Amino acid sequence: MASVSIPTERPGGLLRRPSATTGVWSWITTVDHKKIGILYGVTAFFFFIVGGTEALLIRLQLAQPDQAILNPSVFNEIFTMHGITMVFFVVMPLSAAFFNYLLPLMIGARDVAFPRLNAFSYWAFLFAGIFIYSSWFLGGAPNGGWFGYAPNSVVDPTRGMTFYAIGLLIAGIASTVSAVNLAVTIINMRAPGMTLFRMPVFVWMGLVVQLLLAFSLPIITIGLVELLFDRLFGTHFFDPAAGGDPVLWQHLFWLFGHPEVYVLILPAFGIISEILPVFARKPLFGYQFVVFSGIAIGFIGFGVWAHHMFAVGLGPVANTAFAVATMIIAIPTGVKIFNWLGTLWNGDIRFTTAMLFAIGVISMFVIGGLSGVMHAVVPSDYQQTDTYFIVAHFHYVLFGGAILGLFGGMYYWWPKVFGRFLNERWGKVQFWVTLIGFNLAFGPMHILGLQGMPRRIQSYPESLGLTFWNLVSTIGAFTIAVGTLIFLVIAISSFRKPKQMVADPWDARTLEWLTTSPPPVHNFDDIPVVHSLDELWHRKYAETGGGRVVPVPAGGSGDDAHGEDHGDGHAIHLPSPSYFPPLAALGLPVLGYGLIFGLPFVVAGLLIMLVGLYGWVLEPSAE
Amino acid sequence: MRRRTILVLGLVALAAVAGACAPNATQSALEPKGPYAQKGFDLFVPVFWVATAIFFIVEGVLLFFIIRYRHRKARATMPPQVHGNTKLEIGWTILPTLILAGVAVPTVATIWDLAAEPQGEVLQVTVLAHQWWWEFDYPDQGIITANELHIPTGQPVYLTMCAVGLGYEQQIAPSTCQDQPAAVGDSVIHSFWVPELAGTQDVIPSRTTYLTIQADEPGTYEGQCKEFCGLSHAYMKFKVVAHDPAGFDGWIAEQQAPAAPSPPGDPEAGAGVFLGTCTGCHAIAGLEDPNGNPLIANGGPDLTHFASRDCFAGCMLATTDENLRRWLENPPAVKAGSWMPDYGLSDQELDQLVAFLNALE
């Protein structure tokens, strides 16, 4: 087991390893995947509020025609930061929070494969966020859109897009490291008997997402490095005057950007594939179909990027090819929806808040999926592209799909993580407020786009006749904000009650519910031995002929971890906390500032990183 | 559950109604006014209804299941543990495939149809996208105009499009963008969109792109840059003015004439201000620089028949005295990032310049 380090006392060790288990230092030095998962979650939620505030500012500015609440310069910064924040600092890390916390538990492992790298990923992600946001105070935030199209992103005279390129490079390092770490964890650290096709769908989606990241991030890295070189060192990758090609950026960006879309949505698909069976009290309908369609989406996702570029003028051959590929990717996506419906069929459906969110994902994602197919109809997309119709479409996918799914996941796993329920009654209030606000905010954008409202415009004249639906949309956005505030109150007030949680409050199906809530630092006293898909359920119930179900008497299963005579967790050695992952990660933004502010920062950044990395290598393996 | 579905259905119904009627929208993709917009719309409509049907079926099934199979208090047994049904799952893989194949065939046909260069009697216009205004050159007629594209009805107009920057020296009918590398150096990507007449076409530095538009009826059609292009992206608009063929010929004749001589008084004095201040960027056919050479526009619009245009500054402003004065006083204060600087003109000079421009019929 790679996560269990061997306590060899190394006399030459440079530093003693930190040993705090509570307090601030325990969080800073932690290498425990559960604590790191919580850190990811809290940080991502903080950025959710920041990015949401930016969205509200955009909606305020656009609530009425000809307004000047935000001038064009600030408006461009705000919509750019909203996109960057929500994609890279909310949905990705919130998904990472779930993956970090749950993947090891779901596969019966004690930690991820490389615990210190895991900590490094979190800190690099956090510093990337702080780095990009520091641009507000250091000469202006990125203002060329999250898509950063060259040459606009190159010729812009402010520092914003330099911060964008460096910040996303740092975030990319964090994501790449984490992707490799989690993929290795899933492949190598499954409990005995946990074959690939006994893995929960959420783990499968986790694996697909990590592979998507591992293969798509290098592409955006190339693009960002080229952008940075064009801006800082006078290269001409995207400079048409010197023979560079601005369209090259679009290919690099979307060849990353489209797989990225699935990086954002597949975690939510995984989450609701766990929630639906538990509360329909039936196994997932067609597990293998759902898994294979997830894998298919992952593969085909690399072959559809130019559907973001139908209006570029790539020619009818390219447009035909990418239209057909885009329609093909709709097929496995549709399969998932039908399988979820099949899961509900003939079930015994309990409407917990988590279940409401999961059902909400299905009903809202259908809309985003269908409008997605409409974009594949290229001549139709010639009108829809770069209008609010597109904004409506991807918010139905990324909010109606990803964010609703992630909220559902929070209600579902909160008892496991914190040993307390989120208030179900108020949770349902939040669900309805969020759902109604969401449809008010983004539904009208379909109409606005078709009626001629381009994206990214700071203002529109009254004469275009777009006023009414813009106002409705703004009201919807503020309704979503109310829903989010309700969640915040629910989340904070959940900690006022003492922990009193059983291991398995939902009568669930997967291994994370086998251990206590919250789990001990070593996850499982004994590593479970897995005999089937939905292992936990099969330890509780047996299927007789014809699909009838009978409970297994307590302790009747020979594998019940607590039924065996060893395993109080005292003999388990876990990796010790470490100062060095956050230190090494800290070198990245300092180095980044060096690219903007000059040599002293470069030297400082390199020194911090060197100390971090050498300390990392040389520190003793246990306290 | 029911409430949400009612809400969703209501929104969709509203969307359909508002979309179909669109009473006030003046730049709507839902009201094609020519064959090239119509081709896209003819695909949009059936696909929209297919999507709507699928939407109602899926949401209907979802709603039915969650009502029919909701937990009832009396229930004590677990539902039968059905793990799947391969035949069914293959079925619902194949069915969407067939529907999509049905959508793909006309889609591909229309892609090729729209990409073909129009044949027969075609008006050629070169579109040059500047930050943040549009230049329209008529190579066969020898006309240059800005922000207003005049076309005859019933005839395809084939647009050859380039994005250019400040260093672009105006000439009638540049054949491609590649001819002026220095000019594309500081240009960015724009996108030409006049939804009632055609779909979108990006306009890209160093690439030449093409689009065919056509209007069936005389009228004014609103257009706008769609690709984010910097500070004043929202204010890069234009109008397409369609005339009946006779009216179009008349317009051509007017535009081909050199600028009207400035009447004495304020306009004549304004001409002096213009020659002293504006000719670094702007040109007017019929005026000469101090050396006796014709003016060449360099980055700014040709103003020969400025007063015949309804709007200026990327159609951000209507051509009124008040707007003109405000603009000339300090362009970047009116339009963020405007490359036209504040020249600190006196009140008198401003009056004279406005009078001069108004005389450029």
Q: Do A245 and B4 touch (CB under 8 A)?
A: no
pLDDT for position A12: 44
Nearest to A349 among B66, B92, B224 (CB): B66
The yes-or-no verdict on residue A16 having pLDDT over 80 is: no
Q: How many residues make up chain A in this entry?
A: 623
Q: Let me know if B283 is exposed, middle or buried by CB neighbors in 10 A (0-12, 13-18, 19+).
A: buried
User: Range with the lowest mean pLDDT among A69-83, A544-558, A584-598?
Assistant: A544-558
pLDDT for position B19: 53
**Amino acid present at B297:** A
A478-530 residue pLDDT tens: 999 999 999 999 999 999 988 878 999 999 999 999 999 999 999 999 999 99
- DSSP state, residue A565: S
Q: CA-CA distance, A439 to A362, in Å (whole number)?
A: 14
Superfamily for domain range A32-575: Cytochrome c oxidase-like, subunit I domain (1.20.210.10)
pLDDT for position A15: 62
Task: Give the best residue of B42, B107, B114 to mutate against chain A (max A CB count within 10 A).
Answer: B107
Nearest to B81 among A149, A451, A547 (CB): A547
A25-48 residue pLDDT tens: 999 999 999 999 999 999 999 999
Q: What is the distance in angstroms between the Cα of B266 and the nearest Cα belonging to chain A?
A: 33
The interface predicted TM-score of the complex, written ipTM, equals: 0.92
User: Range with the lowest mean pLDDT among A78-87, A304-313, B74-83?
Assistant: B74-83
Q: Do A454 and B3 touch (CB under 8 A)?
A: no
Q: Do B193 and A454 touch (CB under 8 A)?
A: yes
Which has more pLDDT, A409 or B300? A409
Q: What is the distance in angstroms between the Cα of B137 and the nearest Cα belonging to chain A?
A: 21
Q: Do B229 and A152 touch (CB under 8 A)?
A: yes
Which has more pLDDT, B343 or B260? B343
Which has more pLDDT, B237 or B19? B237
Q: For residue B50, what is the nearest residue in chain A, using CA coordinates?
A: A370
Q: What is the distance in angstroms between the Cα of B246 and the nearest Cα belonging to chain A?
A: 29
- Give the 3-state secondary structure of residue B205: coil
What residues of B are in contact with residue A373 (Cβ under 8 Å)?
Answer: 47, 51, 100, 103
Does B266-358 match B123-256 at the fold level?
yes
User: Range with the lowest mean pLDDT among A295-304, A537-546, B94-103?
Assistant: A537-546
pLDDT for position B291: 84
pLDDT for position B180: 58
The yes-or-no verdict on residue B21 having pLDDT over 60 is: no
What residues of B are in contact with residue A385 (Cβ under 8 Å)?
Answer: 200, 226
% of chain B beyond a pLDDT of 70: 88
Region B183-189: mean pLDDT is 76
Q: Do A152 and B188 touch (CB under 8 A)?
A: yes
pLDDT for position B286: 86
Q: Give the model's confidence band at B177: pLDDT under 50 very low, under 70 low, under 90 confident, else very high.
A: low
Q: Do A282 and B65 touch (CB under 8 A)?
A: no
In B69-167, alpha helices (H): 86-115
What residues of A are in contact with residue B92 (Cβ under 8 Å)?
Answer: 334-335, 338
Nearest to A349 among B69, B83, B210 (CB): B69
Q: For residue B195, what is the nearest residue in chain A, using CA coordinates?
A: A383
Q: How many CB atoms lie within 10 A of CB A545?
A: 5
Q: What share of chain A is helix, strand, coil (3-state, %, to 5)?
A: 70, 0, 30
Contacts by B286-290 with C-beta closer than 8 Å and gap 24+? B286/B258, B286/B259, B286/B261, B287/B259
pLDDT for position A4: 46
Q: CA-CA distance, A294 to A283, in Å (whole number)?
A: 18
Q: What is the distance in angstroms between the Cα of B257 and the nearest Cα belonging to chain A?
A: 33
Q: What is the distance in angstroms between the Cα of A102 and the nearest Cα belonging to chain B?
A: 24
Q: Give the model's confidence band at A564: pLDDT under 50 very low, under 70 low, under 90 confident, else very high.
A: very low
A191-240 residue pLDDT tens: 999 999 999 999 999 999 999 999 999 999 999 999 999 999 999 999 88
pLDDT for position B18: 56
Nearest to A239 among B18, B69, B185 (CB): B185
**Amino acid present at B271:** A
Residue A566: which residues within 8 A CB-CB, separation 6 or more? Answer: A526
Region A138-153: mean pLDDT is 95
In chain B, alpha helices (H): 2-21, 35-68, 86-115, 181-184, 245-256, 266-277, 321-329, 331-334, 347-358
Q: For residue B230, what is the nearest residue in chain A, using CA coordinates?
A: A152
pLDDT for position B233: 96
Q: Which helix (H) or strand (E) holds B241?
A: strand B237-243
Q: What is the distance in angstroms between the Cα of A551 and the nearest Cα belonging to chain B?
A: 10
The yes-or-no verdict on residue B183 having pLDDT over 80 is: no
Q: Do B185 and A240 touch (CB under 8 A)?
A: yes
Q: Number of CB pairs < 8 Å for A and B?
A: 323
Region A564-593: mean pLDDT is 83
Q: For residue B91, what is the nearest residue in chain A, using CA coordinates?
A: A335
Q: Do B185 and A549 touch (CB under 8 A)?
A: no
pLDDT for position A368: 96
Q: Which CATH architecture has domain B266-358?
A: Sandwich (2.60)
Nearest to B233 among A315, A342, A457 (CB): A457
What residues of A are in contact with residue B85 (Cβ under 8 Å)?
Answer: 285-286, 342
**Amino acid present at A47:** F
Q: CA-CA distance, B190 to B198, in Å (whole number)?
A: 16
The yes-or-no verdict on residue B151 having pLDDT over 50 is: yes
pLDDT for position B23: 61
pLDDT for position A563: 42
pLDDT for position A36: 97
A231-281 residue pLDDT tens: 999 999 998 888 889 999 999 999 999 999 999 999 999 999 999 999 999
Q: For residue B52, what is the nearest residue in chain A, using CA coordinates?
A: A370
Domain B123-256: assigned CATH number: 2.60.40.420
Q: Give the model's confidence band at B288: pLDDT under 50 very low, under 70 low, under 90 confident, else very high.
A: confident
Q: Do A451 and B231 touch (CB under 8 A)?
A: no
Q: CA-CA distance, A576 to A4, in Å (whole number)?
A: 10
Q: Do A155 and B186 touch (CB under 8 A)?
A: yes
Q: What is the distance in angstroms between the Cα of A81 and the nearest Cα belonging to chain B?
A: 15
Structural contact between residues A477 and A59, judged by C-beta atoms closer than 8 angstroms: yes
pLDDT for position B259: 85
Q: How many CB atoms lie within 10 A of CB A502?
A: 11
The yes-or-no verdict on residue A558 having pLDDT over 60 is: no
User: For all residues of chain B together, what is the average pLDDT?
Assistant: 89
A77-118 residue pLDDT tens: 999 999 999 999 999 999 999 999 999 999 999 999 999 999
Every domain of chain B and the residues it spans: 2-14+28-71+83-115, 123-256, 266-358
The yes-or-no verdict on residue A562 having pLDDT over 70 is: no
pLDDT for position B10: 66
Structural contact between residues B30 and B16, judged by C-beta atoms closer than 8 angstroms: no
Q: For residue B11, what is the nearest residue in chain A, using CA coordinates?
A: A443
Nearest to B231 among A73, A241, A370 (CB): A73
pLDDT for position A18: 82
Task: Give the best residue of A447, A460, A479, A507 to mutate against chain B (max B CB count within 10 A).
Answer: A447
Q: Do B233 and A377 touch (CB under 8 A)?
A: no
Q: Do A451 and B30 touch (CB under 8 A)?
A: yes
The two three-digit tokens of residue A61, written as one number: 């500015």
Q: Do A289 and B47 touch (CB under 8 A)?
A: no
pLDDT for position B75: 87
The yes-or-no verdict on residue A567 having pLDDT over 70 is: no
pLDDT for position A559: 47
Q: Give the model's confidence band at A623: pLDDT under 50 very low, under 70 low, under 90 confident, else very high.
A: low
Q: How many residues make up chain B in this entry?
A: 361
The yes-or-no verdict on residue B12 having pLDDT over 90 is: no
Q: Do B28 and A450 touch (CB under 8 A)?
A: yes
The yes-or-no verdict on residue A5 having pLDDT over 90 is: no
pLDDT for position A1: 37
Every domain of chain A and the residues it spans: 32-575, 576-623
A362-400 residue pLDDT tens: 999 999 999 999 999 999 999 999 999 999 999 999 999
pLDDT for position B15: 62
Q: CA-CA distance, B264 to B276, in Å (whole number)?
A: 18
pLDDT for position A373: 94
Q: What is the distance in angstroms between the Cα of B355 and the nearest Cα belonging to chain A?
A: 27
What residues of B are in contact with residue A152 (Cβ under 8 Å)?
Answer: 188-189, 228-230
The yes-or-no verdict on residue B121 having pLDDT over 60 is: yes
Q: CA-CA distance, A273 to A266, in Å (whole number)?
A: 10
Structural contact between residues A175 and A125, judged by C-beta atoms closer than 8 angstroms: yes
% of chain A beyond a pLDDT of 90: 87
Given CATH 3.20.20.30, say whether it is the number of domain B2-14+28-71+83-115: no
Calculated CA dihedral for residues A555, A561, A564, A568, nearest 10 degrees: -130
**Amino acid present at B118:** P
User: Range with the lowest mean pLDDT among A209-213, A499-503, B8-12, B166-170?
Assistant: B8-12
What residues of A are in contact with residue B80 (Cβ under 8 Å)?
Answer: 282, 346, 546-548
Q: What is the distance in angstroms between the Cα of B259 and the nearest Cα belonging to chain A?
A: 32
Region B284-300: mean pLDDT is 86
Q: Do A370 and B54 touch (CB under 8 A)?
A: yes
